[in-house]
Amino acid sequence: MIHLDQKAEILMRYFRENKSQREISRELKISRDTISKYIKEFESKNERLTDLEKDEERNRNEILLLIEEMSSKPRYDTSSRNKTKLTDDVISKINELLDLNEKNRLLGRSKQLMKKIDIHEKLVELGFDISYPTVCNYIRENHEKKEAFIRQEYNLGETLEFDWGEAKLTIGGKPTTLQMGLLTTAQGSHHYARLYQNQKMENFLDIHVQAFKSIGGIHRELVYDNLKQAVRKFVGRNEKEATEDLIKMSLYYGFRYRFCNIASGNEKGHVERGIEFVRRKAFSSKTDFDTVEEANAHLQDKLLELNSKKRNWLQNQSPLDILKQEMPYLIPLKPSYDTSRRIEARVNKYSVINIDQNKYSVPDYLVGKFVNVKIYPDTIEIYYKDSKIAEHDRSYLVHNWSIDINHFVNTLKKKPGALHSSVGRHQLSPELQETYQEYYTNNPKEFIELLELIKEKDLESVLKAIDELKKIKKELVTTDNIKNIIFKLPRDDESPGTKDISIQNASLKQIATLNELFNLKSAGGMKIE
């Protein structure tokens, strides 16, 4: 069975390391036919993605489908890679190559040192059948001090480090502990950070997508410690198996990932120091914000300031200056990866689904049905049979109800008396709340019809019609009269020179007729011809 990480390895070696299919087949013990299949499939989808990207907004759904396919698990079995143990000959050769590195370092040739990937490639060239992780593990366990100087050498566009840190702020008057995700470049310590409510997978993925967009490209290697969003499980003493979400994201964008050894934060020291540095600079003097969005805006302003400041240790350049030098070496951006966490949920008798201890409404005809849910950091999208049927702002409260009253129109038609005390009525917009209180408290059936009208047209058109009617008399504000006004008014998108005056006059005459029914005078001296 070819696994997802093997598929990623095939594509990485071909597209990023420019290896031939023959080399990849020999190294991974996978047939050339299988390798060719995955390469051709990825190339085809990538070409299609490039075409769709020209109009990303219009083609977003198709783009998301392609992203899903490009990062999906292989769909059929094949021979698996055999894991080769270290032999005395292999160990001897690794030690010999590391000794050569040490000699070059002492001669001032630090830029000519072999990295672990170079040592592995040399071993393969010499005929040794051994995996890259096995080589890395041996070097880390047995030559850690000797290798320290290698980890301090970073090429432009090579390494980006990630970590989480806490930020204790006051949001809307309440003490709140937020999670600050931070990505820091190894070359130049350029920082990108964002605040989230928690460390769940959708937020872990989102911080990466946002950082890539902000930077303008993707570094070739991302470094993590042993956080659960990146490491699914430990295999043996030091080897780690990545989560499926990390593998899929890396496969789509084309970067490699690397994990630090346990209790070895120094292996990603730039981001370790960056957490304390960014948090102190951004939130030591200002901690009170009305919303998380406001706190994030403040954080982005501080990051721009920090990244633009020239540093002595960068030869009087700024982190932003160094990042600009890295740009030619970065992997080009693609349309944004879909960062959602996906679940299936059943609609209960109240026509809501439960997500993270909060309730979100769906159309009432779906009671008892199963729906698919995409959970983003700020929104909840709900799908039934591949069609989006609801969208809500995400709530981070506990036992909160997010209700769209339009989802309950069919039920309310049968039970209009339930409208007044319903949760949905109390969550209407301020304009609709006022409209209900002023004109419809004793006529819920008509208000339900008004909701249908708003869904068919729009709220703005309804409010304009209400304004026209109440200029004459408050009692004229009924759903039927609102409909009469709306469907006779000229369209807003028509230019003044093309509006049909006869239609406008007909609308005004209709108002006059309604006015006469109540034996009223034209309001404000309105002249009606």
Q: What is the largest CA-CA distance in the chain?
A: 107
- 381 bridge partner residues: 374, 391
| CATH number, residue 244 | 3.30.420.10
Cα separation of 66 and 47, whole Å? 11
- In percent, the amount of the chain with pLDDT more than 70 equals 82
Domain-embedded: residue 410 = no
Last residue in a domain, options 151, 175, 194: 151
CB atoms under 10 Å from CB of 507, counted, come to: 19
Q: Is 241 helix (H, G, I), strand (E, B) or coil?
A: strand
Residues 176 and 303 in one domain: yes
Eight-class DSSP state of 337: P
Query: How far apart, in Å, are the Cα atoms of 82 and each of 201, 225, 232, 234, 487?
Result: 32, 27, 21, 19, 72
Which amino acid is residue 460, in one-letter code?
E
Taking phi over 0 as left and psi of -120 to 50 as alpha, with beta for the rest, 455 belongs to: alpha
Residue 307 scores a pLDDT above 90: yes
- State pLDDT tens for residues 393-439: 999 988 888 888 788 777 777 777 667 777 666 777 788 888 888 88
Mean per-residue pLDDT, 220-244: 84
Domain-embedded: residue 470 = no
Residues 101 and 166 in one domain: no
Domain-embedded: residue 503 = no
pLDDT of residue 449: 81
Quickly list DSSP for 378-393.
Answer: SEEEEEETTEEEEEEE
Domain-embedded: residue 135 = yes
What's the domain range around 393? 340-402
More confident residue, 68 or 346: 346
Residues 292 and 315 in one domain: yes
pLDDT of residue 505: 52
Cα separation of 93 and 78, whole Å? 32
pLDDT of residue 102: 83
Residue 312 scores a pLDDT above 80: yes
- State pLDDT tens for residues 516-529: 554 444 333 333 33
Quickly list DSSP for 80-133.
Answer: PPPPPPP-HHHHHHHHHHHHHHHHHHHTT-GGG---HHHHHHHHHHTT----HH
Last residue in a domain, options 129, 151, 173: 151
Residues 109 and 197 in one domain: no
Cα separation of 382 and 391, whole Å? 6
Length of the chain: 529
Q: Do residues 115 and 150 make contact, with C-beta atoms less than 8 angstroms apart?
A: yes
Residues 107 and 247 in one domain: no
Cα separation of 24 and 132, whole Å? 13
Name which of 414, 417, 418 is nearest 403 in CA terms: 418
Name which of 467, 478, 481 is nearest 523 in CA terms: 467
Last residue in a domain, options 12, 35, 70: 70
Domain-embedded: residue 515 = no
Residues 344 and 224 in one domain: no
Domain-embedded: residue 429 = no
Cα separation of 94 and 130, whole Å? 12
Mean of the per-residue pLDDT values of the chain: 81
**If residue 193 lies in a helix (H) or strand (E), which one and from where to where?**
strand 191-196
Number of domains in the chain: 4
Residues 320 and 186 in one domain: yes
- In percent, the amount of the chain with pLDDT more than 90 equals 35
Structure tokens at 340: 């959602």
With residues binned 3-state (H G I as helix, E B as strand, rest as coil), the percentages for the chain, rounded to 5, are 50, 15, 35
Residues 121 and 215 in one domain: no
pLDDT-derived band at 115, boundaries 50, 70, 90: confident
Domain-embedded: residue 145 = yes
Which amino acid is residue 392, in one-letter code?
H
- State pLDDT tens for residues 9-59: 888 888 888 889 999 888 888 888 888 888 888 888 888 888 777 777 777
- State pLDDT tens for residues 494-510: 444 444 445 445 555 55
pLDDT-derived band at 145, boundaries 50, 70, 90: low
Cα separation of 300 and 292, whole Å? 12
Residues 144 and 163 in one domain: no
Residues 288 and 381 in one domain: no
SS3 sequence, 8-28? HHHHHHHHCCCCCHHHHHHHH
pLDDT-derived band at 484, boundaries 50, 70, 90: confident
pLDDT of residue 524: 39
CB atoms under 10 Å from CB of 327, counted, come to: 12
Residue 122 scores a pLDDT above 90: no
Residues 313 and 359 in one domain: no
Q: Is 262 helix (H, G, I), strand (E, B) or coil?
A: coil
**If residue 200 lies in a helix (H) or strand (E), which one and from where to where?**
none
Domain-embedded: residue 465 = no
Rounded-to-10 torsion of CA 66, 67, 68, 71: 120
